[in-house]
Amino acid sequence: MPAHSSLDCVGIFARHTDVLRQVLARLALPVNAPLATLPAVGFILTATLEIDTLLLNALAQRGLCPQQVELPCWAMPIAPG
């Protein structure tokens, strides 16, 4: 397992919570204060129906109401040849 990965600062997937706290502190976001309101949550369905359903149910049990979103396609067209 590598010592560092691209997931080091990605929310609940952070390898070390202290790294996530440092990033939030630099962004001047409160890291220990409770939220006054819940943040907007978007959910992109990409897994199997069973996995997506489990994730959506887990979020709903915690009071989050994610909405399905679509992101623009960032793929660059490939020129022939």
Mind listing the pLDDT tens digit for each residue in 32-79? 666 666 666 666 777 788 888 888 888 888 887 777 777 666 655 555
Decide which of 31 and 42 is more confident: 42
| Residue extents of the structural domains in the chain | 39-71
d(CA 54, CA 15): 23
First-residue to last-residue Cα distance in the chain: 39
pTM of this prediction? 0.38
> Which tokens is 25 given?
């502190």
The distance of Cα 56 from the centroid of its chain, to the nearest Å, equals 13
- Residue 9, burial from CB neighbour count under 10 angstroms (0-12, 13-18, 19+): middle
